[in-house]
Amino acid sequence: MQKKPFVSHEKLKEITARYPTPFHLYDEAGIRRTAREVSAAFAWNRGFKEYFAVKACPNPFILKILQQEGCGVDCASMTELKLAEALGFSGDQIMFSSNETPAEEYEYARKLDAIINLDDITHINFLAEHGGLPERICLRYNPGGELLIGSAIMGQPDASKFGMTKQQIFSAVKALMRLGVKRFGLHALLASNAADNNYYPANAMILFELALELHRKLGAEIFMVNLSGGVGIPYQPEQAMPDIGKIGASIQETFSDLMSPEGLGDIALATEMGRFMTGPHGCLVATAIHKKHIYKEYIGLDACAVNLMRPAMYNAYHHITVSGKEDALCDHVYDVVGSLCENNDKFAVDRALPEINDGDLVIIHDTGAHGYSMGYNYNGKLKSAELLLKEDGEVQLIRRAETVKDYFATFDFCDILKGVE
């Protein structure tokens, strides 16, 4: 199956005439389409909300689009909270799903009246001292063991640092009830990039059963079941997009069977997807600037792992299209690499591609989530611009590229690098 870029060669030529590569390009129409599909898939649940995981794509222009589509935000740091606040998110529109949380971040999240998602039982006293306990709170569950779907291992909760054991959840709810907390949410993130349509329903089942048990045994009022993120996208051309409509319908069935008969039909469902929302709707555009032939064939790009870390970090597959050669025969085999002094700076290894010449525009797919945001500044390489391909076909700069001056900005307390730019 061919994986088609969302931007045509002609359009990309037009864009690169105005903006130098490398840059991340986002597709507004695609982001809105996915947001609407998610809303439709869970429309059966009155309180449903997708809290977009800000870390996946922390750009205010993208967050604004998602806000217009009815999404809230999932934050995990002071910076993310301040970004959310600046965009006008507050109260029930913010999930604060942090871990190893510093005191001042709890204090800030409480000031915004965000829904606090407690990662550990020891955080009860910590939060009580720093910001105070709210009237409603969410608790992060870690069921341990392996998450199996059929015979396939979908996740390894027992090796995950997040969440509380079942016993701790019960103790935490009891303690919090004594301390005056009235309503509880339950949250679990048990897999990452799960392409299987059964992941979310399996997670939902685990949380629904926990909710029922807490309700029956402790009389706890449960207001939210938060399925967190982890829904995958087809990075590989032969993979299919998870069917969010089917996923929603399957969860609805479990919900009606389990929750409604117990009088828990008003529980709001929440999601915190990042990758699924924006991942396919972004790409990294780079120019081939060098061709090297030693023991293997290398194509050197003007982008590097600083712009997209996933291949270097996880050996992740990102599909590559050579713009304008979409239908050409893939009769060359290349390592497509960046310029870091690190031998893992390879966007692709042994990839069959059409012949690439210096100056060709290379599109690296599926960088709309955990792409730009994961970047760093190794080798003093600078982070790229971000551009938005709007629904009307116009292109808008939504973040300028970093400059040398930006890189040195943290030395502004002294004169050594003054004026270097």
Ligand X SMILES: *Cc1c(COP(=O)(O)O)cnc(C)c1O
Q: Is 278 in the site for ligand X (CB under 6 A)?
A: no
Q: Can you tell me the distance from the alpha carbon of 55 to that of 276, in angstroms, rounded to the nearest whole number? A: 13
Using rule CB under 6 A, residue 230 touches ligand X: yes
359: left (phi over 0), alpha (psi -120 to 50) or beta: left
Q: Angle at the Cα of 37 (from 32 to 42), degrees rounded to 5?
A: 130
Closest to ligand X by CB, 56 vs 322, is: 56
**What is the SS3 assignment for 196?**
coil
Find out whether 66 and 30 touch, Cβ atoms under 8 Å. no
- Cβ-based nearer residue to ligand X, 21 or 34: 34
- By the rule CB under 6 A, 72 interacts with ligand X: no
Please report whether residue 242 would count as binding ligand X according to CB under 6 A: no
Q: What tokens were used for 245?
A: 């409509």
Q: Write the CB contacts of 65 (distance below 8 Å, at least 6 apart in sequence).
A: 28, 31, 32, 35
Query: Which span sits near ligand X by CB under 6 A: 63-71, 253-261, 274-282, 354-362?
Result: 274-282
Residue list 139-198, contact with ligand X (CB under 6 A)? 189, 192
Residues 369-388 that bind ligand X (CB under 6 A): 369
Quick one: which segment of 15-23, 269-277, 337-345, 355-363 binds ligand X (CB under 6 A)?
Answer: 269-277
Nearer to ligand X (CB atom), residue 51 or residue 334: 51
Tell me if 334 sits within 8 A of 265, measured CB to CB.
no
C-beta closer to ligand X: residue 194 or 337: 194
Q: Residue 389's closest CA among 19, 2, 95?
A: 19
As given in the structure block, the two tokens for residue 154 are 């979908």
Does position 270 interact with ligand X (CB under 6 A)? The reply is: no
Of 122-130, 144-152, 271-279, 347-355: span binding ligand X (CB under 6 A): 271-279
Tokens 């391909």 sit on residue? 389
Q: Is 368 in the site for ligand X (CB under 6 A)?
A: no
Q: How far is the CB of 56 from ligand X (least distance, A)?
A: 5
Does 366 interact with ligand X (rule: CB under 6 A)?
A: no
Distance CA 400, CA 74 (A): 25
Footprint of ligand X (CB under 6 A): 53, 55-56, 74, 97, 189, 192, 228-231, 272-276, 369
